[in-house]
Structure 1
Amino acid sequence: MSTNIPFHRIKRVAVLGSGVMGSAIACHLAQCGAEVLLLDLPSDEGPRDAIAAGHLKKSLKGKPSPIYSKRFAARIETGNFDDDLSKIAQCDWILEVVVERLDIKQQLFEKVEQHRRPGTYITSNTSGIPMAMLVEGRSDDFKAHFCGTHFFNPPRYLQLLEIIPAPHTRQEVVDFFMAYGEKILGKQTVLCKDTPAFIANRVGVFAIQALFHTVQDMGLSVEAVDKLTGPAMGRPKSATFRTCDVVGIDTLVHVANGVAQNCPDDERAEVFGIPSFVQHLVDKGHLGSKSGQGFYKKVVQDGKKEIHALDLKTLEYNPKQKVKFATLDAAKQVDDLKARTQLLFQGQDQAGEFYRRIFADVFAYVSHRLPEISDEIFRIDDALRAGFGWELGAFESWDAVGLEAGLKACADRGLDVAPWVHELVASGATSFYSAADGKRTCWDVASKTNTVIPGQEGRIALALLDEDKTVWSNSGTTIQDLGDGILNIAFHTKMNTIGAEVIEGLNKAVDLAESDPKWRGLVISNEGANFSAGANVGMIFMLAVEQEWDELDYAIRMFQNTTMRLRYSGIPVVAAPHQLTLGGGCEVCLHVDKVVAHAETYVGLVEFGVGVIPGGGGTKEFVL
């Protein structure tokens, strides 16, 4: 995404509303460099700013933390609407995050317009109120600089930022927030149409609702569904029911009811009806984590804490039961998610039937959402990955199981697929996505051709590089030519742990870079879930158990020599860690010339936790 408006235009942001989302958004803006004015209603008791200050304090105590470092909270000033609203005149962006009621938002915007400088950006975090309704009665300048900026909770950890233009929004405003959200706020920005629930919630909540009905039909338990819909299929560890508890069951019901009311012509409108077991929880006030119980609850028995799960038939809580499926057992042996998704889809037990049903529901549904909620396939997938934590979006999952197989599953369920999908098949295409010249392409419904997905300029996707860019590889690493004389070595062992194959690859990368003058530098990076979970402790443990002291000494020396090669190599070495960067992964970073770390990098020498002293030079580096 690109914009002609400089990012430094945003120096001070007013966040109007300090609830769970308002405070968390304020924290994220502050840690990204902005000064923040956080306002809420004046308090009837104590200091006038007590509501905003109290909400912020509670948010800062939350786990996981909404902010990288508590010191960034000093950039947040709290206040109240009555005494401090005039301060928005000094703000460059005004972001509304009050309760999801049209009348309250409109009343606040009327007051905002009395103090807002012309040209100041103003946006709403609404999760579904139409943009046109929000700006009714506002000035032309207000309307021209207004759009939706829908963050997902928690803002620090969920990447999605939906940008929703209003009818009179200037294109330059949309372009700015698409680029600012990505480059400064670290978000996956997704351009949305102003339709009910926008993109992520429209499809994501449908997927959950359809799953609820399938669970009822198949008689599956809460525990079984969360086992099936977690990491095995590339979804968060919280899976389905635990995610509902965390987000809030009332929030899910609110979005589902909103779609049901505002989309009467939706071909699957009945799916948004609330199942009896969900309505039971809402009626009881059992809304998930916020109320202490939902689909799960913690109990104390005989002085021990236990997790009990809701029985969807009796509506009573029982101790969690272990579940087992042959298809899941087989999937454990497959690391590649696309291959694993196909295996799950083809399963011949109850799990396989479950997967075919839930995938078919989503496949058919998303096919009909074009062009209603988006003109492009990739925007729907981007929204689901970034907003719901799916590793594969809906169309990417369809590609994984196979286009024809997905169509058959839909037909078996009696679900109609949009005509454009049949046109895609008739064209001879076998997938929604492909790659060309190192760029990702997808099927464009309007032009009926494969087009390059925008926004890839200035980016390098290792997985999309042509085969001739691979310089060398072994079972655990791949060395690729990034262009401009730069080599990259990527690890692809389990959790990118460092064993003999990674050490061999690192030495080979330095050998190549130093031996040929065409190479000017080396990058150590990968596209896995983690940079590296450290050395292969299992291998070290086995060598110790078997008392193979010479081999253990050799392995440690090889790793030490390798990290020292990185330190004293004749070419610059840059490491780009992300997420887990532990033990040996940390030691690799300690020895390179430059570290360019992702904001969410968890780095450290954790070997002491398993009774091992860091052996790759990390102890020495900490002393120095």
Structure 2
Amino acid sequence: MKNRKINRVAVLGSGVMGSRIALHFANIGVEVLLLDIVPKELDEKEKAAGLTLESKAVRNRIVDTALKTTLKSKPSAIYHSKVAKLVTTGNFTDDMPKIANCDWTIEVVVERLDIKKIIFDEVEKYRKPGTLITSNTSGIPMQFMTEGRSEDFRKNFCGTHFFNPPRYLRLLEIIPGPDTTKDVVDFLMHYGDLYLGKETVLCKDTPAFIANRIGVYSIISAMHTIEEMGMTVGEVDKLTGPLIGRAKSATFRTMDVVGLDTIVNVANNLYEGLPHDESRERFKLPRVVSELSERGWLGDKTKQGYFKKTKDENGKKKILELNLGTLEYGDRTKAKFKAVEVAKDIEDLKERIFKLVNFDDKAGEFLRTTFYDVFKYCSFRMPEIADDLYKIDQAVAAGFGWEMGPFQTWDILGVKDTVEKMEAAGQKPAQWVYDMLASGAETFYSAIDGKKAYYHIEKQSYEVVPGTESLVLLESLKETNVVWQNAGTTLYDIGDGVLNLEFHTKMNSIGAEVIEGLNTAITRAEEEGWKGLVIGNESQQFSAGANLAMLFMFACDQEWDEINMMIAQFQNTMMRMRYSDVPVVAATSGLALGGGCELSLHSDAIQAHTETYMGLVEVGVGLIPAGGGTKELTLRVSDRYMNGDVEFNALQEAFMNIATAKVATSAYEMKEMGFMNATSAFTLNRSRVIADAKQKVLELDAAGYTQPFKRKDIKVHGRSGIATFEAGIAGMQYGHWASEHDAKIARKVNYVMNGGDLSMPTTVSEQYLLDLEREAFLSLCGEQKTLERIQSILFKGKPLRN
């Protein structure tokens, strides 16, 4: 592979995708030049200011406005506010020569070949030979874009199709052109995986490539089924969201967010461009889609689509839902299916999907019909759009936010049984599926020596999925590498003398079974000579915190001794982690809240996926962090004190993080909030987090890991510190920033972080602060308003401010 370095990137086009792609490169520390067209006329503000078309502010207005809009977007496109400084704006007319200083130029203009060719003409004038030039096209063939271009351009040109929003959707499709060198393809695959954190999938240059070909088919085809079965918007979104491991936006909300016009354009283009597709007719727009498109009800961009935001008689925001029969808006419908009632409490996604699809009601019929349809379609796309089936799963899952791709889902339902049911439903799959079953292979995926393997159609055998050799995939270790397990955890041997403890409780909450798992893992690691322990999983969340249901039950029954014992046990386990004989590394991603945050803080290091959302959020349920969280932030602030003087600014910042339940929205913010110590690091690709955490354990062990000593030198300020913070708490209460109960909780946090009722500044031990934590926690468990907050979270899923 050619030794390329990407220090500066030029992004040509600052629309929704261009500005977000630019900011994602800035997220990883790359300097970006973002360019767009020069306005043709002044707007009213510019006229009033006396500006001319030659003014720089006017000439860069389009790109500057686009960037500012994106920086304000939610969810945020950036890891931290500081990264925006890495983006420099300009325009095509004045600043195109600057791309000569860039290592990679990415074209992200409108999806029109004639416009792209005009841009490429300009790129050819200024681009430095040998540098990368790629297009973010979602469907224009590569050969059309390279026609008439120089040899150097063609060799270094490739399609790089990001999905929106590029910070969050993990897919990056790499589509080589007719003359793209292997060196360029290899580099982009490697760079996308390791540095951009993407599921980087190599695609053939076929219409819509992989993800949109399958994803748009599944949406439009499902719309036909919805029409045929008389389903409502609410019913469909209930069945096609997190319940089956897909994005929260499900079907119709996704269409509103993406824009119906986008989906319509892709569907129409596919219908026109796929005359030999056996399911071509399913790309024809259903009646409802055509009607909404004609009316211009395109979703969020037109303020109405399948949903419409309005206000009720009291001025409160209200969301209306489209009646697919009458095309009139009304109150949102609530889906009521027996299948959902039976399956909703099944935590394991695979078990839940199996139950839902095989249930004999309308929900089961809908899922069977749509699943079998997509299974059939995917089987016939081999080898047209991909030679290997795993690429379809990778692309669709990463591009559309599915936890599992079509072939993975088919495996769950049983390939042979499902084929028989598909035949009965008139959805017979491609011949190669029958050949696979005849060869004795019963699944699309298997494991080889603990590595993920897929069925290779041509070889009729299982092969390790390329690119996964260096990963630690727990799913592939379940049959061979389980060391110990209980109802809530599994302990794996992940190789090289390292253990991994996986949680599999609901939201990976921490209860008795997880506490048992943690203690067992540490004991076995210490007594059996393992090099260390990783705590991590492959689910969406690291841990949403402690098991509130058990706490609520004890508090309602006033079982104070039980609560005291439960908290003491949690504290002792955290301290055991901190002071074990072997290094412990937390491999975090998704939510790491409350107890999940405290567990991470007591590890020797955190190996965090950049999309880790960590915080001590106990105030939201009327409590304070009592698993060592309050103690730990106090300790860390104490370590920052200079010359023996208390830095109240640092302590106040830590105090406010707890008192306001602040959550870091990226690994970068975790570092800023003091959650990541000097040994901690972050990983951009979610699939690599456990492997990187394992490597961190090996590094700590190789460096001669020694058991830490228990701290008795934590500086606290006593009464004078309490008094200082009390003024701020009172001010927040008087200013209506905090309720009376918020203030009461904040005072408990204040008391603990300043070391309690001490007459002067002094040093205390960790155990001293842990005891204060537990005492404060217990007292709040007896508060009615705390119980109301816990009840609201448990039974309504919503935080309560009281």
Aligned counterpart, 2:601: 590
Matches of 1:481 and 1:397, distance apart in 2 = 27
Aligned counterpart, 2:25: 29
Matches of 2:478 and 2:240, distance apart in 1 = 33
* Aligned partners of 2:419 and 2:428 also within 8 Å: no
- Residues 59-458 of structure 1 mapped to structure 2, 5 A cutoff: 59-303=70-314, 304-458=316-470
* Aligned partners of 1:437 and 1:466 also within 8 Å: no
Q: Alignment partner for residue 621 of structure 1, among 632, 635, 650?
A: 632
Matches of 2:176 and 2:464, distance apart in 1 = 23
AA in 2 matched with 1:10:
I
Cα distance, 1:440 vs structure 2: 1.3
* Aligned partners of 1:14 and 1:91 also within 8 Å: yes
AA in 1 matched with 2:276:
D
What TM-score, normalized by structure 1, do the two folds share?
0.98
Deviations 1:124-144 (A, max 9, x none): 000000000001110000000
1:494 aligns with 2:490: no
Cα distance, 1:248 vs structure 2: 0.6
Matches of 1:465 and 1:379, distance apart in 2 = 21
Deviations 1:435-466 (A, max 9, x none): 12101111111122222111112111112115
AA in 1 matched with 2:28:
C
Deviations 1:38-65 (A, max 9, x none): 0000134351111111100000000000
Percent identical among aligned pairs is 56
Cα distance, 1:415 vs structure 2: 2.8
Deviations 1:523-543 (A, max 9, x none): 111112111101111111111
Aligned counterpart, 2:516: 504
Aligned counterpart, 2:492: 480
Matches of 2:379 and 2:495, distance apart in 1 = 38
Matches of 2:479 and 2:408, distance apart in 1 = 22
Give secondary structure in 2 for the equivalent of 1:576: strand
AA in 1 matched with 2:318:
E
Matches of 1:6 and 1:66, distance apart in 2 = 30
Deviations 1:240-292 (A, max 9, x none): 00110011100100110110111111111111111121111111211111111
Deviations 1:584-614 (A, max 9, x none): 1100111111111110000010000010111
Deviations 1:14-36 (A, max 9, x none): 00000000000001011012100
Matches of 2:260 and 2:362, distance apart in 1 = 27
AA in 2 matched with 1:178:
M
Aligned counterpart, 1:536: 547
Return the index of the structure with the highest Cα Rg.
2
Q: Pick which of 140-149 and 299-308 moved more.
A: 299-308
Deviations 1:140-196 (A, max 9, x none): 000000000000000001000000000000011001101100000000001100000
Task: Check 1:108–1:193 CA distance in 2 against 1; reply closer, same or farther (3 A cut).
Answer: same
Aligned counterpart, 1:51: 62
Aligned counterpart, 2:577: 566
Give secondary structure in 2 for the equivalent of 1:380: helix
Q: Pick which of 505-514 and 252-261 moved more.
A: 505-514
Matches of 1:58 and 1:614, distance apart in 2 = 37
Cα distance, 1:334 vs structure 2: 1.9
Matches of 1:570 and 1:498, distance apart in 2 = 23
* Aligned partners of 1:32 and 1:185 also within 8 Å: yes
* Aligned partners of 2:450 and 2:480 also within 8 Å: no
* Aligned partners of 2:99 and 2:127 also within 8 Å: yes
* Aligned partners of 2:347 and 2:505 also within 8 Å: no
Matches of 1:604 and 1:214, distance apart in 2 = 43
Aligned counterpart, 2:8: 12
* Aligned partners of 2:531 and 2:583 also within 8 Å: yes
Give secondary structure in 1 for the equivalent of 2:75: coil
Matches of 2:497 and 2:361, distance apart in 1 = 51
* Aligned partners of 2:241 and 2:249 also within 8 Å: yes
* Aligned partners of 1:85 and 1:112 also within 8 Å: yes
Give secondary structure in 2 for the equivalent of 1:600: strand
AA in 2 matched with 1:540:
L
Q: Pick which of 375-384 and 477-486 moved more.
A: 477-486
Matches of 1:6 and 1:519, distance apart in 2 = 38
Matches of 2:232 and 2:421, distance apart in 1 = 23
Q: How many residues align?
A: 619
Matches of 1:466 and 1:563, distance apart in 2 = 27
Give secondary structure in 2 for the equivalent of 1:415: coil
Matches of 2:610 and 2:2, distance apart in 1 = 24
Matches of 1:468 and 1:448, distance apart in 2 = 24
* Aligned partners of 1:39 and 1:79 also within 8 Å: yes
Give secondary structure in 1 for the equivalent of 2:367: helix
Aligned counterpart, 2:556: 545
Matches of 1:370 and 1:469, distance apart in 2 = 33
Deviations 1:396-452 (A, max 9, x none): 111111112322332233233211111112112211111121011111111222221
1:42 aligns with 2:38: yes
* Aligned partners of 2:451 and 2:469 also within 8 Å: no
Cα distance, 1:468 vs structure 2: 4.6
Deviations 1:192-237 (A, max 9, x none): 0000000000001000111000011111111111111111111111
Deviations 1:479-508 (A, max 9, x none): 222222212111111111111111111111
Matches of 1:325 and 1:334, distance apart in 2 = 15
Deviations 1:291-331 (A, max 9, x none): 11100111212123221111111111111121211111111
- After TM superposition, the runs of 4+ consecutive aligned structure 1 residues lying more than 6 A away are none
* Aligned partners of 1:298 and 1:307 also within 8 Å: yes
Cα distance, 1:5 vs structure 2: 3.7
Give secondary structure in 2 for the equivalent of 1:488: strand
* Aligned partners of 2:232 and 2:333 also within 8 Å: no
Matches of 1:192 and 1:142, distance apart in 2 = 20
